Amino acid sequence: MRALYIVLLLGLFFWGYRLCKKNLCPSDSTSSAVAAVVPEDCDSSLHFKDGENLDILSDENFSFDHSSEELNELSDDFATSILDVVDYLMENTDRIIQIQGFYMDSEDSLEGRNTLGYARAKEIAKYFNSQGVSRDQVFYAGIKSNNLCVRDSILMQGCSIDFAGKE
């Protein structure tokens, strides 16, 4: 009787493994297909808009290497746009910036995909803090999106940014 239970248990384990591999667990080919769908001619712009007080449209965005949370170097034009936003936040201490860091299904990180977007948003927040923006004016979160701009394994659209008032 004990042998029958062992055989049934092994059969159940094998069946569960096959079911997971076939229907539930993503395969590597699915991840590659998701990355391949991203359009080459994509919009990586970032719009800094806070009502009528701030309206800056940059052709660039914060960028990250694939599966990396390390912020790539900013171009001079983009850095100038960021400094305008920094000046605005320093003059309007009642305003906060909300950063949403993006990640895709095809990316991996040591901590897991769910925290990769959060880690990217945190890096952007650190950048704003290093430029003089108060920590209590910067909030961040991670968001998954598979419709992002990727060129040569670099995520060109690393975040979106919103403004709000302190409560």
- pLDDT tens for 98-114 read 999 888 877 766 565 55
Contacts of 64 by beta carbon, 8 Å cutoff, 6+ apart? 70, 71, 72, 120, 154, 155, 158
Q: State residue 80 phi and psi, 5-degree precision.
A: -65, -40
Q: What's the confidence (pLDDT) of residue 74? A: 93
pLDDT beneath 50: ranges in the chain? 23-38
101 exposure class (CB count in 10 Å sphere: 0-12, 13-18, 19+): buried
Q: What are the extents of the domains in the chain? A: 1-37, 41-165
Say which CATH class 41-165 falls into: alpha beta
